[in-house]
Amino acid sequence: MSRVCELTGKGPMTGNNVSHAHNKTRRRFLPNLQVVTLISDVLGRPFKLRISNAALRTVDHRGGLDAFLAKAKSDELSAKAQKIKKDIEKAQAAA
């Protein structure tokens, strides 16, 4: 399982540990990923996604999964999230 947020595309970054003597060693900064279940209002179904804490706060701020995916760029989303976005758009067009 890759360490990438399914909604924002946020992944590991690299940097340095810097000691008091200013010795530098490489390290990785991993995103704070959580497995959460988000419910789509349009589809009325729950979806289990592995997203970062920052993405979860953004979903809440924008008013839910449907509103977040409506504004999100498709190239940042995972394949699973792209399919959910497409299903939501189809359901909204039909209604």
Q: Tens digit of pLDDT for each residue in 34-76?
A: 999 999 999 999 999 999 999 999 999 999 999 999 999 999 9
Q: What are the structure tokens assigned to 86, written together?
A: 């497409």
Distance, CA of 95 to CA of 92 (rounded, Å)? 5
CATH 2.30.170.40 fits 13-94, yes or no: yes
pLDDT tens, 16-40? 999 999 999 999 999 999 999 999 9
User: Do the Cβ atoms of 78 and 69 come closer than 8 Å?
Assistant: no
Looking at residue 19, the DSSP 8-state letter turns out to be -
Q: What is the pTM of this model?
A: 0.88
Task: Please state the domain extents for the chain.
Answer: 13-94
pLDDT of residue 94: 92
Distance, CA of 9 to CA of 55 (rounded, Å)? 10
Residues 81, 35, 76, 54, CA torsion sign:
positive
The mean pLDDT value of the chain amounts to 96
